[in-house]
Structures are given as C-alpha cells and as structure tokens.
Amino acid sequence: MKNTLNTLLILFAFALSMILTSCCADNECAEEDIYGKTIVKKTDTLYNKNPKIVRGPFYVQIGAYANKSNADAFYSDAKKQLRLKLDMKQTSDGIYRIIIGEYKTVEEAEDMLSTVKKQGFSDAFVRDDAGPIK
C-alpha cells in the first residue's frame, strides 16, 4: 500500500511538472497533432519571467552632498541661479540630494533636465527613488 502511494505521488509530480513546463514563457505553446505535425499557437503564460518594474515619480537631480552645510550652500546658490522650486531630500544613508520637480513621465523630467543643463548644471540627471534613469 505504501509503495503504491509513493508511486502515485511520483507519477503525479511528474505529470504536474510536464503540464507546467509544456508552455513556453514567450506566449507560444508547441504541441503535435494526431498526425505528428507540430502546431504552434498563442497561449496565456502561467508566469512572467521578467517582472514589470514600475518606476517614478521622476526628478532632476542637480547635486548631492554628504555634508549638510555644503548641501545648504549649494541649494541656496542653485535656487538663486535657477529661480525654480528646489527640494532637498535626505536619503537613508545620509546623502542630501538637491532635486527639481516630481514628474510623472521621464519625458517631462528630460525637458526640465535640458533647461537646467543650459543654465550650467552639466552634471544634472534624471532619476527616481530607485536611482538614475538610463
């Protein structure tokens, strides 16, 4: 009885693995019809190998400092030069980032980036909370 149960469990595990791996992750499933011809058809996948990464909101970073007084001085000078609303955010590792905006799309942030670079902030770049974009 115990051997029969073990055999059935092994067969079930094998059959389940065959079912789960029979479809490819690229939304196509290949199988053979009764005449031995391969048929490829579109299917729904069981999982997505590449998780969708949602990024944003986006910012233009114009400076970053570990020293608060240096960050304050840069912030003050940049605010006078750019005449824009700037923000300073402290990260969990103690870095003070001087950023502009909170944009929903990368394109909006890149428009501001080109404006900022024209005004002399050549090291500026687009980022989100996860890091630099591109």
Given this model, what pLDDT does residue 45 score? Answer: 54
Pick the CATH number of 58-132 from 3.30.70.1070, 3.40.50.1100, 1.10.630.10, 3.40.50.1820: 3.30.70.1070
Q: What φ, ψ does residue 53 adopt, rounded to 5°?
A: -100, 120
CB under 8 Å to 98, separation ≥6 — which residues? 61, 62, 63, 64, 65, 71, 74, 75, 78, 86, 87, 88
Model-level pTM? 0.59
What is the pLDDT confidence band of residue 20, given thresholds at 50, 70 and 90? low
More confident residue, 97 or 134: 97
Question: What is the domain partition of the chain in residue ranges?
Answer: 2-42, 58-132
pLDDT at 126 over 60: yes
